[in-house]
Structure 1
Amino acid sequence: MDSTPLDTTIVIPTHTEDRWSSLVRTVACALSQQAEPAEVVVVTDHNRGLFERIQRELPGVTVLENAYAKGVSGNRNTGAFHAKTALVAFMDDDITAGPEWLGRLVEPFADPRVVGTGGGILPDWEGPAPRWMPEEFLWAVGGSYAGMPTETSPIRNVWSASMIVRREVFDAVGGFRVGFGKLGDRNRPEDTELCLRMSAHDGGQWMYVPSATIRHEVPANRSTFPWFVKRCYAEGRGKVQMAGLDDGGSDTLGAERSYLWSLPKAALRNLGAGLTGKGADNFLRAGGIVAGVAAAGWGGVVETVAAKRATKTQKTLETAR
């Protein structure tokens, strides 16, 4: 049976039983959407025990195993390529969403130029939010950050924790780039890279819908300053790797440069607030901005040097043949 334009499949990638309680909660959110999905698909990442447990204990969902190399990109592709609906929604296995989430993200697809949408993401801290965490860096814990639109607006990219794609365009570009994503210590922006390719395919548009809000779990071990610095460093490396994939001459990192230009003002604003008696935490947040920029910048330098060395080595090998 052919799908209607607004039929949607929800895909939830998962990889470990350590997140079982979170997965159960996410699945419950998916199944309770007011805009009822045609199918909810949970995809396990080369974990047979988890696959069998979901089959036994989570009725009402389709369970698949990652058909690609280990990693979340292959997990999502497995579910998305299984779908037969016009739209495919992605949820992470550690988020919660209200019953209106899906319907709000679907609305912009009334415009045929829209190839994808994404919603607002609030950090769901396991403990208290760090006093030093700048709102401009909430992306480091998977959250929407200060400076993003406050109403439905066009945007360059959204995040796969809360994303819907037009399936025909997703399929046309080959889905998420397998091997380029989050696995182990690697933290490559596979969702941003996908958004760029889908937009470039036929000039399509992404829309950010801040009212389609989810809460994204932030465990205590990701609330520490050392983890924050490490995450920013990895992001710097990942963005340079992403730029290296683009051979079309587009300004892949234009949004990142605009974002960086906004950070000195944010740091000064926090310093000013601290100096005028509005709380010592403002000094800490200003320091967080400086540390985040420095870590990301250093990551970018390291990756740029590594890429140049790899290119030089490759040329040497080709010359020696």
Structure 2
Amino acid sequence: MDNFQHPVPGKLATAIVICCYSDKRWDILNKAIEAAARQVPAADEIVVIVDHNPALALRLRAKRFETPVRIVENIHPPGLSGARNTGISVSRGEVILFLDDDAVSDRDLLATLVRQLEDPSVLGAVSAIRPLWETDRPSWFPDEFLWTLGCTYRGLHPGPVRNLIGASMCIRRDVFDHTGGFDSGLGRTAKALPLGCEETELCIRATRALPHGRFVFEPSSGSDHAIPADRATWKYFLHRCWAEGLSKASLSLMAGSGEALASEKTYMTRTLPQGVMRGFADMLLGQPSGFLRAVALGAGLAATAAGFALGRTRAALTRPFTSVPARALEPVE
């Protein structure tokens, strides 16, 4: 069923796309959908993409929501990139707000990000993404590494950014018309090692195709991103850093090291050293957690670097990396 509400003249038509894949996230998924339905002003359409889970799609179709919600199954390869590309194909909004299935948005999130896109040079915008811990936040977890949880991290400043963070981002449809969709060679899947960087690759590709455009970070509104207990562990932290290194290795081969690693160079030379100094300063002030955060900063950097080195070495010993960007996405009724 088409739930598109035609916008008033002069107003950008908006779509909210939420991608989901697991029944285990049922409760938080419903909260995410309900929050999307309560945006002020409302989106012109809400589309939930189910990633190759027919039982979940059936369960969602049987549920009554406050406002019309369209449930669509992923028509592309399994994974987040394929699900998002399906959302692009089936939605009709000029602006698409992508939300994770475990991200509960503020009521003014859509309006805040759409205001940024009233500037025609802005291709997309990302909001603040706050961690919503299922358990107490670990004392050792550094703000500088909140990106491992898909959240806004220390060192990310309001204004122009190289790339968006996928949990709560708004992108013009024109970007996809010019550059194609998300690269299914990078997007996360339910079963594989959590490789990512699909948002980074898309943003780099978009700014190459549209050199006068830019992406921005606007933190005045945001989403609460659920963090389950199994992600508040050293094991997950180091595993996620390792996977990020592998992803960045693939991205650097696709986009070139200059653009792929430009933000990381500033992060490594400024943000991380400042974080270590803060940690040791807190330790001297009698806060043992400061030392643990400093250790986590070093360990996270080492794990990321090791993953990157392995990824580049594998590429050198085997065939060149090939990606699978979804180009020229066709509308689907």
Partner of 1:108: 116
2: CA distance, partners of 1:244 / 1:162: 27
Q: Which amino acid aligns with 2:199?
A: D
Q: Give secondary structure in 2 for the equivalent of 1:157.
A: coil
Does structure 1 conserve the Cα–Cα contact (< 8 Å) formed by 2:201 and 2:255?
A: no
Q: Superposed, which structure 2 residues align to 1:138-157 within 5 Å?
A: 138-149=146-157, 151=158, 153-157=159-163
How far did 1:239 drift? Answer: 0.7
- Alignment of 1:198 with 2:206, yes or no, is yes
Q: Structure 1 stretches of 5 or more lacking a match?
A: 315-321
Partner of 2:16: 10
Does structure 1 conserve the Cα–Cα contact (< 8 Å) formed by 2:16 and 2:98?
A: yes
- Alignment of 1:169 with 2:178, yes or no, is no
1: CA distance, partners of 2:300 / 2:54: 38
Does structure 2 conserve the Cα–Cα contact (< 8 Å) formed by 1:34 and 1:99?
A: yes
Partner of 2:89: 81
1: CA distance, partners of 2:161 / 2:255: 19
2: CA distance, partners of 1:179 / 1:304: 16
Partner of 1:31: 37
- Alignment of 1:229 with 2:229, yes or no, is no
2: CA distance, partners of 1:198 / 1:180: 16
Q: Give secondary structure in 2 for the equivalent of 1:132.
A: coil
Mean Cα displacement is larger for which, 188-197 or 6-15?
Answer: 188-197
Partner of 2:297: 289
2: CA distance, partners of 1:221 / 1:282: 23
Partner of 2:261: 253
Does structure 2 conserve the Cα–Cα contact (< 8 Å) formed by 1:43 and 1:63?
A: yes
Does structure 1 conserve the Cα–Cα contact (< 8 Å) formed by 2:194 and 2:240?
A: no
1: CA distance, partners of 2:64 / 2:15: 17
Deviations 1:36-71 (A, max 9, x none): 101000011111111111111044101111011111
Mean Cα displacement is larger for which, 73-82 or 250-259?
Answer: 250-259
Partner of 1:317: none
TM-score, reference length from structure 2: 0.89
C-alpha change, 1:147 and 1:18, in structure 2 (3 Å) is same
Q: Which amino acid aligns with 1:164?
A: C
Report the identity percentage: 35
2: CA distance, partners of 1:313 / 1:91: 29
Deviations 1:138-192 (A, max 9, x none): 111111111111x4x1111111110111101123211111232112213221111
Partner of 1:220: 229
Does structure 1 conserve the Cα–Cα contact (< 8 Å) formed by 2:248 and 2:260?
A: no
Q: Which amino acid aligns with 1:79?
A: G
C-alpha change, 1:81 and 1:312, in structure 2 (3 Å) is closer
TM-score, reference length from structure 1: 0.92
How far did 1:312 drift? Answer: 8.3
Mean Cα displacement is larger for which, 177-186 or 300-309?
Answer: 177-186
- Alignment of 1:117 with 2:128, yes or no, is no
Does structure 2 conserve the Cα–Cα contact (< 8 Å) formed by 1:5 and 1:86?
A: no
Mean Cα displacement is larger for which, 166-175 or 297-306?
Answer: 166-175
Q: Which amino acid aligns with 2:169?
A: M
Partner of 1:22: 28
Q: Structure 2 stretches of 5 or more lacking a match?
A: 1-5, 323-333
How far did 1:250 drift? Answer: 5.0
Q: Give secondary structure in 2 for the equivalent of 1:301.
A: helix
C-alpha change, 1:283 and 1:77, in structure 2 (3 Å) is same
Q: In the alignment, which of 34, 41, 47 is matched to residue 41 of structure 1?
A: 47
Q: Give secondary structure in 2 for the equivalent of 1:253.
A: helix
Q: In the alignment, which of 295, 301, 315 is matched to residue 307 of structure 1?
A: 315
Number of equivalences = 310
How far did 1:246 drift? Answer: 1.6
- Alignment of 1:90 with 2:98, yes or no, is yes
Partner of 2:276: 267
